[in-house]
Amino acid sequence: MFINMINAFYSAKSGSKNYQTYLDAIGNNIANVNTASFKAQNVSFTDLLYTNIEGPDGAEQNLQTGNGSRILITRDMSQGTSINGSSGLDVMIKGDGFFALQGEDGNISYSRISNFTISDIGGTKYLTNKNGDYVLNENLEKIEITSGEIAFIAPSEVNNNAITLGVFRFDNPEELVALSDGKFGISAGSTLTAKLDTESSLLMNMIESSNVDLASEMAKMIIAQRGFQVNAKMIQTVDEMEQYANNLRN
């Protein structure tokens, strides 16, 4: 009985921790419902290994006890809806691609957000985002701005008077690592490779909305709160049972 109570305690502890993580992910999704190009987090639960319960003298009973659960957090990389932008440099990717950015440290990251601006760096005007990262072209080169009128095209499009932005895709974009400011990176040791996207197109003066479904997140929150409460109650119950057992021994 004592061992079963210990198992119940750790199972409930694992469940409480996982449901708290679930609530944190839901809260983050809701907080970013109006963040351009934000990609919602999805949480799924899987059971840990089960332990067979033996009867008297080790006889099999076809009964098992659980050992808690673990969670898997993934990103929903589906495209958000298009909304009107507020800047002439706003552009939305229609498709699965990502813009390529280069930070001050020289590292390349990828983003769906087009918060672009023109920055004068050392007397040369470059296309950057509002955080100062360089926007790169299809050859992963910095883009110099030499004219007043600016139009962007994707690698799949042709226009000699427009700037070709580097738009890249990944076979498994869910494996990208989320960085700050809506950027994604490739983790060390990953086999992911950025490939030039020849299928996506660009929509000028448009931006991509978050793909968070607020109604769905609210429903998930109710489920997660109930799950957390059930596991918290189980911890309390096991604690009370242990106290009762100790009192009997004394």
| pLDDT tens digits along 224-245 | 999 999 888 888 887 777 777 7
Which residue would you say has higher pLDDT here, 72 or 93?
Answer: 93
> So where are the chain's domains?
2-77+212-249, 82-208
Confidence of residue 15 (pLDDT cuts 50, 70, 90): confident
Alpha-carbon span 42 to 69, nearest angstrom:
16
State the distance between the two ends of the chain, measured CA to CA, in whole angstroms.
Answer: 17
pLDDT at residue 3, rounded to an integer: 47
Which range among 26-35, 55-64, 91-100, 106-115 shows the weakest confidence by mean pLDDT? 55-64
- Residues 6 or more apart whose Cβ sits within 8 Å of residue 227: 15, 19, 22
* Overall average pLDDT of the 44-69 stretch: 60
Q: Are strands 98-102 and 108-111 parallel, antiparallel or unpaired?
A: antiparallel
* Overall average pLDDT of the 170-188 stretch: 92
Residue 124 burial (C-beta neighbours within 10 Å; 0-12, 13-18, 19+): exposed
Instruction: Please state, rounded to an integer, the average pLDDT across all residues of the chain.
Output: 86
* E-state strands within the chain: 41-47, 51-54, 60-65, 69-75, 82-84, 91-94, 98-102, 108-111, 116-121, 124-129, 134-135, 152-153, 163-164, 167-169, 177-178, 183-185, 195-196, 201-204, 206-208
For residue 1, pLDDT over 60 is answered with no
Residue 165 burial (C-beta neighbours within 10 Å; 0-12, 13-18, 19+): buried
Which range among 93-102, 130-139, 155-164 shows the weakest confidence by mean pLDDT? 155-164
What is the percentage of the chain residues whose pLDDT exceeds 90? 57
Confidence of residue 20 (pLDDT cuts 50, 70, 90): very high
* E-state strands within 194-234: 195-196, 201-204, 206-208
Structure tokens at 19: 């449901």
